[in-house]
Amino acid sequence: MAPVVNGRVLFNSIPTGYPIPGETTIYDTSETIDLDIVPLNGGFLLKTLELSVDPYMRGRMRDPKIESYLPAFPVGEPMEGHGVGVVLRSEFPGIKAGDHLYGTFKHEQYTIRSDMEQLQIIENADGLPWSTFIGVLGMPGKTAYFGWKEYAHPKKGEVLFVSTGAGSVGSLVIQLAKADGLKVIASAGSEEKVQFMKGLGADVAFNYKTTDVAEVLEREGPIDIYWDHVGGETLEAALDNARNHARFIECGMIAGYNNGGLPVRNLMKLIAKSVIMSGFMVFRLEHKYNDEFYKKLTPKVARGDISHREHIYNGLEKLGEALLDVQKGKNTAKAVVHVAND
């Protein structure tokens, strides 16, 4: 077969505010690859099927001199993130053509790998769509499940507030909390998302763009658990309306991602109310909950007992757009870039 184009999304320049497609990222088609004869040197050739676009990625689009929990994306190189792909050819022990892999994928159509670092084989006995493994059964689902198990300590009748409740993490948090018998207050940025959260079982769902968070929490709180994706003023309102011994699960602070971080002024409430605020990264809990997660959640997802949804961006060239939408909250569900069919 003749060489084909290997489309790639390159990190082009460090954004000062939002990541702009065509400016901070570029879709590049200059590379070609001959899938039949490209040398593998003991490795394997992977075709990317689905890529996940998540809020945290903005943090990697930074000056490499700034240290953080994940390395900065090198300028001029393809970015990377969670993905699912299929092995086309392999010289690698234990990996064969037709295997499906989940893990960290470069943002390119084809990749040659010579190790399984941050990759695992997916078992898909139920024939779920491959995108499921980067959504409710992927990093976002694990984030919700691990964080809830580790930090929530829910008691029946308690009150949870979750921001970004219609997102891929938040929508599972709502369902976990309802299963544990909690009253759930959830916020999101559109009427459509409000309806979606109600459908998931949220007792109180509101649009933070038209309704004052503090007002809702004063009326419907005090809250025992706050699952935070937002930070800033929403976090302040949650602290103001927390009950003594509340648990704050700090999963994200998107309000600060594009402006260097928003200040929180009322942290003294932590002391007054004996609040425990736990920041966490999903990968640091993987060893503890990963097996349990697949075992418990996969059958529920296969049976349709867990609601989830995806916002599909069709084609790798749409990744930059997805990245911006996720930062602005314009995606209507878990952002998935569909790169290719199986």
Of 39-47, 86-94, 99-107, 268-276: span binding its own copies (CB under 8 A): 268-276
d(CA 171, CA 186): 9
Nearest-approach distance from CB 252 to its own copies, in angstroms:
7
Residue 277 binds its own copies, judged by CB under 8 A: yes
What residues between 245 and 264 interact with its own copies by CB under 8 A? Answer: 245, 250-253, 256-257, 260-264
Nearer to its own copies, 99 or 250 (CB): 250
In order, the DSSP letters of 207-243 are ETTTS-HHHHHHHH--EEEEEESS-HHHHHHHHHTEE
CB of 288 to its own copies, least distance (A): 12
Which of the residues 281 through 300 are near its own copies (CB under 8 A)?
A: 281, 284
- Which residues, 141 to 200, sit near its own copies by CB under 8 A? none
Are 182 and 156 in contact by the 8 Å Cβ rule? The answer is yes
Cβ proximity to its own copies: between 98 and 279 the closer is 279
Compute the least distance from the CB of residue 144 to its own copies, in Å.
15
Query: At 196, is the secondary structure helix, strand, or coil?
Result: helix
Among 155, 278, 288, 292, which residue interacts with its own copies (rule: CB under 8 A)? Answer: 278
Contacts of 196-202 with C-beta under 8 Å, sequence gap 24+, read 196/166, 196/171, 196/309, 197/165, 197/166, 197/170, 197/171, 199/307, 200/165, 200/171, 200/174, 200/175, 200/307, 201/174, 201/175, 202/165, 202/174, 202/178
Run of H or E including 272:
helix 268-272
Q: Alpha carbon 265 to chain centroid distance?
A: 28
Question: 10 Å Cβ neighbour count for 35?
Answer: 15
Which CB atom, from 189 or from 231, has the smaller least distance to its own copies? 231
Which member of 65, 271, 287, 303 binds its own copies (CB under 8 A)? 271
Q: How far is the CB of 311 from its own copies (least distance, A)?
A: 24
Q: What residues between 216 and 245 interact with its own copies by CB under 8 A?
A: 231, 235, 244-245
* Least CB distance to its own copies at residue 141 (A): 18
DSSP letter for each residue of 76-93: TSB-EEEEEEEEEEE-ST
- One residue of 30, 41, 127, 265 binding its own copies per CB under 8 A: 265
Nearer to its own copies, 37 or 70 (CB): 70
Only segment of 19-27, 213-221, 277-285, 321-329 that touches its own copies (CB under 8 A): 277-285
CB of 236 to its own copies, least distance (A): 10
Residue from the set 32, 114, 210, 274 that interacts with its own copies by CB under 8 A: 274
Smallest separation (angstroms) from its own copies to the CB of 286 = 12
Q: Which two tokens stand for residue 213?
A: 């968070």
**Alpha-carbon gap, residue 235 to 335, rounded angstroms:** 25
Three-state DSSP at 203 gives coil
Q: Between 156 and 265, name the residue whose CB sits nearer to its own copies.
A: 265
Which C-beta is closer to its own copies: that of 178 or that of 273? 273
**21, 38, 214 from 30: Cα distances, Å:** 18, 17, 51
d(Cα 121, Cα 90) in Å, to the nearest integer?
14
Number of residues that bind its own copies (CB under 8 A): 36
Residues of this chain, 64-93, that bind its own copies according to CB under 8 A? 68-69
Report phi then psi at 19, rounded to 5. -80, 120
- Provide the binding-site residues for its own copies, judged by CB under 8 A: 59, 68-69, 231, 235, 244-245, 250-253, 256-257, 260-281, 284
